[in-house]
Amino acid sequence: MNHIFGPVPSRRLGYSLGVDLVVHKTCTFDCLYCECGPTTSLTIERKEYVPFDELADELGETFKDPPERLDYVTLSGSGEPCLNTRMGDVLELLRSISPAKVAVLTNSSLLTDPEVRRELGLAHVVAPSLDTAVPETFNLINRPHPSLSLGAMVKGLVEFRRGFGGEIRLEVLLVKGVNDSPGELERLARQIELIRPDTVDVNTAFRPGAARLKPLTQEELESAARGLGPLARPVGSFCGDGSLKLTGFLEKRVVALISRRPCTLDELAESLAAGEKEVREVLKDLEKRGVLKTQDQKDGRFYSIVV
Ligand code: SF4
């Protein structure tokens, strides 16, 4: 499986099977906090980055024997999924074969395009992100493709809300000292009122990202969420029940997961329904081969793949 990973223990979506529609690391942004590392292809060009037939084959295989516990199938991964021109076809296929709901994580940049809005309309849940309402901060934190404008992006979000009957979970990611001042939060709260999402998940950069950043403390996160209005809530820790049962080649699945998202040993063991000892062995082996990267953070030791 080259384009399917997980299920990932997602703090917002429970057990979520990831489907990657682009190649590493293709995005319209180069966010300071990106868990996938620096963007190597900063683009706004939509095309079939991953062939639809390949994805359809992998999805068909996966859903012949789906994971026992699956809350969502989520388009996400090594970049911006809306860049793939076959996103609508993938969503249609998933709606017909997946027992779980279908979600899309997007950075909102391409919602200016009516065709992207139409395709996203096929998902049950769309989780667009918006970290700031201030253009200078947008350039600082999201480092967008030069042709993108924050104002147009917010208009696209408002337009999408008008036509979408599913759930919109707006995500705001806060970085200490960058986009968490009272003035920043007040301006963002006004934009959120215009966008009218169903919920606002307020998160902080707690995983290793492209740059070393300071996360907010739990108290600061809660206070910031209050500043963003009644729909906003701080995102809690993932809490799974460990009931997931999967079969498969562990090393390949560990690599598929940590090459897209840094994880702790606990997260890997739980997500992949494997014993800690087995996962530790796989990690040791990857370390010996020089492809494992470790970073110690407040929430534990995170493992990723050297890119
Ligand atoms: S965090 Fe998301 S939007 Fe930002 S660079 Fe990474 S993949 Fe792109």
pLDDT at position 245: 34
Cβ neighbours for 96, distance < 8 A, ≥ 6 positions apart: none
Angstrom CA distances, 146 to 82, 142, 149, 203, stand at 18, 11, 8, 26
Cβ neighbours for 191, distance < 8 A, ≥ 6 positions apart: 130, 133, 154
Which residue has better confidence, 307 or 204? 204
The CATH number of the structural domain formed by 247-307 is: 1.10.10.10
Cβ neighbours for 23, distance < 8 A, ≥ 6 positions apart: 41, 49, 50, 78, 79
Looking at every residue in the chain, the average pLDDT score rounds to: 89
Mean pLDDT for the stretch of residues 43-70: 93
Q: What are φ and ψ of residue 121, in 5° steps?
A: -60, -15
> d(Cα 64, Cα 79) in Å, to the nearest integer?
27
Q: What is the DSSP letter of 201?
A: E
| Contact yes or no for 75/98 (Cβ under 8 A) | no
Report the separation in Å between the CA atom of 24 and the middle of ligand 1, taken as the mean of its atom positions.
11
Decide yes or no: CATH 3.20.20.70 for domain 4-241: yes
Among the ranges 50-64, 203-217, 256-270, which has the highest mean pLDDT value? 50-64
Output the pTM of the full model: 0.82
Report the separation in Å between the CA atom of 33 and the middle of ligand 1, taken as the mean of its atom positions.
8
pLDDT at position 60: 94
Burial class (CB in 10 A: 0-12, 13-18, 19+), 132: buried
Q: Is the CB of 31 under 6 A from ligand 1?
A: yes
Report the separation in Å between the CA atom of 38 and the middle of ligand 1, taken as the mean of its atom positions.
9
Q: Is the CB of 154 under 6 A from ligand 1?
A: no
> d(Cα 155, Cα 150) in Å, to the nearest integer?
9
Q: Is the CB of 107 under 6 A from ligand 1?
A: yes
Where are the domain boundaries for CATH 3.20.20.70 in the chain? 4-241
pLDDT at position 237: 43
Angstrom CA distances, 289 to 13, 18, 231, 306, stand at 33, 26, 47, 11
Q: List beta partners, residue 18.
A: 5, 74
Which residue has better confidence, 2 or 157? 157
Q: Of all protein residues, whose CA lies closest to atom 4 belonging to ligand 1? A: 31
**Which of 132, 214, 230 minimizes the C-alpha distance to 176?**
214
pLDDT at position 154: 98
Q: Has residue 163 got a pLDDT over 80?
A: yes
> d(Cα 122, Cα 100) in Å, to the nearest integer?
14
Q: What is the DSSP letter of 136?
A: H
- Largest CA-CA distance found in the chain, in angstroms, rounded: 53
The residue to mutate among 21, 29, 131, 171, having the most atoms of ligand 1 within 8 angstroms of its beta carbon, is 29
Report the separation in Å between the CA atom of 97 and the middle of ligand 1, taken as the mean of its atom positions.
28
The answer to which of 56-70, 88-102, 226-240 has the lowest mean pLDDT is 226-240
Pairing of strands 41-42, 72-75: unpaired
* Type of residue at 228: L
Report the separation in Å between the CA atom of 281 and the middle of ligand 1, taken as the mean of its atom positions.
31
Where are the domain boundaries for CATH 1.10.10.10 in the chain? 247-307
pLDDT at position 211: 60
> d(Cα 69, Cα 270) in Å, to the nearest integer?
12
Give rounded-to-5 percent helix, strand, coil for the chain: 35, 20, 40
Q: Is the CB of 30 under 6 A from ligand 1?
A: yes
Mean pLDDT for the stretch of residues 293-298: 86
Mean pLDDT for the stretch of residues 277-298: 85
Q: Is the CB of 180 under 6 A from ligand 1?
A: no
Give 1-49 pLDDT, tens digit per residue: 689 988 877 777 888 999 999 999 999 999 999 988 899 999 999 999 9
Q: Is the CB of 185 under 6 A from ligand 1?
A: no
